[in-house]
Homo-oligomer: A and B are copies of this chain.
């Protein structure tokens, strides 16, 4: 008889580990334990089943228990809960949830893939029947039944991935949706100035967005659920989705004496082995290493869970394999806007005291001469010395996924901004440009590091204030602001108090620029302003380029409604 492997948890990590184990060892005895009804289902697809984008429920069942069992010769036991581990004895206690039968299974190796549970805050009224969390097919069946049953309004609490995808899908079903988020922004991995694009997109679709707010109590009201917010607002809805975070399901591990982090994640080494040499753990429940900065972190993403599962199985069956840590590459679509990140955010770098520089690029996703180019915004973070990449964030409508994957690959490889200049990416008019936005990001970062350009962040400029001598009766106190676009662009919108000298006239008119205050130059996205600052530097001025131009400025300082 071969190795006996018991796997607890049969969704992404558990099912992958079982399949890999079988390919490595045809003789092994592999028992797959799953508390729910289903194994190997498409948890990332659940919101889209509610929204009808995925029309058939069975599409979500990547493999049924029977198929999985047959294909890999597994002993699959659904509706079975692991209640206790005896590591010294190599035993796991199981309970059949239907019959109630309790029994014990021995193992040579145990692999834990328990996942993470939605956090349910203990606030009054939280047990209202119209409040749902979303983790598995049973949950999604309940939510879909409520929507199919005629719900017309919904409240989504929490603006992370699941919250945003639920907002979109409930909206697609015709519901009026309100979103409440504790932070001042949705999608926490993004920095706030990029998240602003998502806020705009939500608002444009009629979603009522409550940021920096929280539900303090629920109650029932005329057959609806009513949420009282910290701000005092009252929101009523036919159903509420709670997606305020997740918590590693590490109770079983902790009770077995395995090392668990302060934040409740199972501690594993690079082989995915826990503090017990015969027990491995993978997925949302484990603590891994941040691939770039090295600190411990958790990552609740399907890709890394699958990767970890394969690595755990390899190590169990005698193949040395290491997990390189998490980059936290992620992407979300909210209506037409796509937002994606890889590596560290500026927030994270600040919090961890890591020195960095940053640039922004706003650029068409393919050549401008070919119809249909849509702007992508790239924020790039890198080390101040060598320009080694630290992180990237992208927001746009088309071509976002491609650029984030290129940058995730660059991060994996430890590339620098100079490498981004050199990347030879595929160009045909429909697909890119002779200088791809990623190349441009490399160039702009290179200019910054070479001292060819200095940037001021729009968030660092003071807000506009009344001034008697400004052309709009307004000014950015303490700065001269120069707009180098065309007059028609200036008339359509400009930074309050800015003076206008179009780039083409700058060589003749630069002496008009006051020199008593620091000078900040901008255009639409920063490109013409770069040319302008090169000219002005030659004249002996020390201009700043407003990073990302008016496009970035308006993310931080929205234009007043017309």
Interface residues of A (CB under 8 A from B): 12, 22-23, 26-27, 42, 44-45, 48, 53-55, 59-60, 62, 70-73, 161, 165, 291, 301-307, 324, 326-333, 338, 340, 342, 367-371, 401-402, 404-406, 408-410, 412-415, 419, 421-432, 434-436, 439, 452, 503-504, 507, 530-531, 534-535, 538
Contacts and interface: CB of A to CB of B under 8 A. Distances in A.
Contact of A405 (B53, B406, B412, B538): B406
A55 B372 CA distance: 12
B424 A26 contact: no
B405 A426 contact: yes
Given A367-B44, A370-B45, A434-B12, A412 B401 contact: no
A504 B412 CA distance: 38
B427 A301 contact: yes
B302 A427 contact: yes
Contacts of A45: 367, 369-370, 429
A551 B59 CA distance: 23
Nearest to A67: B504
A54 B301 CA distance: 41
A434 B332 contact: no
How many copies of this protein are present in the complex? 2
A329 B367 contact: no
Closest 9 CB pairs of A and B: A413-B413, A26-B538, A331-B426, A302-B434, A402-B402, A401-B431, A42-B369, A409-B409, A327-B424
Contacts of A55: 371
Nearest to A304: B424
Contacts of A48: 370, 429
B44 A427 contact: yes
Given A303-B435, A531-B71, A60 B369 contact: yes
A329 B44 CA distance: 33
A424 B408 contact: yes
Nearest to A330: B426
A10 B402 CA distance: 31
B23 A534 contact: yes
A424 B71 contact: no
Contact of A408 (B70, B425, B507, B530): B425
A291 to B, nearest CB: 8
A327 B419 CA distance: 14
Given A408-B424, A412-B422, A424-B327, A429 B369 contact: no
Nearest to A425: B405
A181 to B, nearest CB: 19
A422 B408 CA distance: 11
Contacts of A338: 431
